[in-house]
Amino acid sequence: MIAAKNIDEYIMGFPEDLAIKLEKLRQTIKKAAPNSTEAISYAIPTFKLDGKNLVHFAGYKTHIGFYPGSGAIEAFKNELAAYNLSKGTVQFPMDKPIPSVLVSNMVKFCILKIREQLVVKKKNND
C-alpha cells in the first residue's frame, strides 16, 4: 500500500466494508471535535487540535484501531471492558458496530486534556 497523503486516500485504500466503518469513525470524531484538523501522522489518520495530536485511527483486517491515548483509556476503562485494549489503544472488531457515543465522549475527554495542558503551559510561562 502506498502511503496516503490524506485521510480520504487512506480510507480509499481499504475494502468497501472497512472503508465505510473508517469513514463513520472519521465523521464521529469530526462531529465531536469540530475545531480539529485532519492529518496523516505515523502513516495513519490523525486529528489535531492546537497543534497537538488529539486522536488517531487505523484500519486492520479484523478490527479498527482507535488511539485516544492512555488517559482516555483509563478514564473510560469500564465502558471499554468489552474491547481489546492496550495502554493507549482500543480495538473495535469489524463484526460489531463502532460505539459512536463512546468514541465521541472519548474525543471530548481528549479535547479537555489538551485544553488543560495549554492552561498549565500558559500559567508556567506567565
Q: Could you tell me the sign of the dihedral formed by the alpha carbons of 109, 110, 115, 116, in that order?
A: positive
In order of their start, the domains of the chain are 7-125 (3.90.1150.200)
Q: Are the C-beta atoms of 84 and 63 separated by less than 8 Å? A: yes
Can you read off the three cell numbers belonging to residue 118?
495549554
Please report which confidence band the pLDDT of residue 1 belongs to, taking 50, 70 and 90 as the band edges: low
User: Can you tell me whether residue 6 is helix, strand or coil?
Assistant: coil
> What pTM was estimated for this model as a whole?
0.91
61-105 pLDDT, tens digit per residue, is: 999 999 999 999 999 999 999 999 998 999 999 999 999 999 999
| Residue among 46, 56, 49 nearest 113 (CA) | 49
| Residue among 29, 87, 101 nearest 58 (CA) | 29
Average pLDDT rounded to a whole number, residues 1-13? 89
17-60 pLDDT, tens digit per residue, is: 999 999 999 999 999 999 999 999 999 999 999 999 999 999 99
